[in-house]
Amino acid sequence: MKKTEITLCLLGVLTWMTACKPSEANAPQGAENTPVRDTVLTERIRFCESTYPYRDGLLVANFGTEALDPLNTQGKGYILYFEAGKVDTLLPPQGYLSAPKGMFIRGERFFVCDVNKVVEFRLDSLSLAPREIVLPAEDLFVNDLAAWGDTLYISVTNTGRIYRMGLSDPQASPVLWAQVPGANGMTFGQDGALYVASYPADGTTTPDNVVYRIADVSAPAPEKLFEQAGQYDGIALSADGKMLYVTSWVPSGVFAYDLTAGGELRPLDLGEFQGAADMTLRDSVLYIPDLPASRVVVRRL
């Protein structure tokens, strides 16, 4: 599929979702329908795909563009830092980022997924030009990052590829490691199993769009965790490793899955989302970016 076709497909889904969903302002206000009150971050946010814990606060990655285009190359992307009710700019728009997505920090190394590449900044010298780790041309939806030991894993949604790259060698290059349909959000369990959320880049959900578990990174064999298909994006595990949380665009919302008991996904009562993306779970608090709505919903579990 060509880049423009993928863009149009994704934006078609976004337009459809926006058109079909009641806005919050129009939602029924009866007592039984009163939405649960959460903290909602909006200040200086413009199309936020991703959140990441940093120091005592939260990083939020923004496209900064006029229109929502996850494959744009306008160079208006920027990273905000929220802490204790205040917002600062960690990385201003300087042309290095266009549609920043999944982030990862190891020491002073700060990695950000961006369209066809991973951009690596240094936290101790953020004004320096970053290193660009460019993936093959067909890998357009470079999406998320997760590490186990000294190995960084990089997901690509449209090709379903997961690359791995050594962190001990600062000049290492990504090597193809595994294939998971629609590979989007990733997180590691304490036992070293990798969980991968699947999102259909062409907008058409198939039975393959579930959450996968890769039990052994030394011999990757992705297995479906459950059968309930969706358009899954963000993924996180509870501190005790027993509960898995995923965001989904269609059906819309945030869902919990009990890894011990199995069974069905359970929707969390968080109100309406236009597109819940790369969330963070930290100290029993979920930070859920609503990408098209340019807001981050904060909910204590």
Considering the rule CB under 5 A, would residue 247 count as an interface residue with Ca ion? Answer: no
Our CB check for Ca ion shows the closer of 144 and 174 to be 144
Structure tokens at 185: 């959000």
Q: Taking the C-alpha atoms of 102, 270, 210 and 221 in order, what is their torsion angle to the nearest 10 degrees?
A: 50
Q: Which residue is nearest to Ca ion (CB)?
A: 278
Interactions with Ca ion, residue window 130-159 (CB under 5 A): 143
**3-class DSSP state for residue 3?**
helix
Starting from the edge strand earliest in sequence, which strands make up the sheet with 100-106, in order?
A: 100-106, 109-114, 117-122, 131-134
Residue in this structure with the two tokens 């900044």, named with its chain if needed? 121
Considering the rule CB under 5 A, would residue 233 count as an interface residue with Ca ion? Answer: yes
Interactions with Ca ion, residue window 25-84 (CB under 5 A): none
Tell which residue, 152, 5, 168, 146, has the closest CA to residue 71: 5
Our CB check for Ca ion shows the closer of 184 and 231 to be 184
- Minimum distance of Ca ion from residue 7's CB (angstroms): 16
- Minimum distance of Ca ion from residue 208's CB (angstroms): 17
**3-class DSSP state for residue 222?**
coil
Our CB check for Ca ion shows the closer of 201 and 270 to be 201
What is the pattern of x (binds Ca ion, CB under 5 A) and - over residues 269-288? Answer: ---------x----------
Considering the rule CB under 5 A, would residue 290 count as an interface residue with Ca ion? Answer: no
Our CB check for Ca ion shows the closer of 166 and 208 to be 208
Question: Under a CB-based contact definition with an 8 Å cutoff, are residues 72 and 65 in contact?
Answer: yes
Contact segment (CB under 5 A) with Ca ion among 27-35, 81-89, 116-124, 182-190 equals 182-190
Q: Hey, which residues does 40 pair with through a beta bridge? A: 297
- Minimum distance of Ca ion from residue 289's CB (angstroms): 9
Structure tokens at 110: 């700060």
Question: Under a CB-based contact definition with an 8 Å cutoff, are residues 291 and 233 in contact?
Answer: no
Q: Give the start-end residues of each E strand in 45-85.
A: 48-54, 57-62, 78-83
Our CB check for Ca ion shows the closer of 29 and 174 to be 174
Our CB check for Ca ion shows the closer of 196 and 243 to be 196
Per CB under 5 A, the list member of 51, 62, 72, 184 interacting with Ca ion is 184
- Minimum distance of Ca ion from residue 277's CB (angstroms): 5
d(CA 243, CA 265) in angstroms, rounded, equals: 11
Interacting residues toward Ca ion by CB under 5 A: 143, 184-185, 233, 278
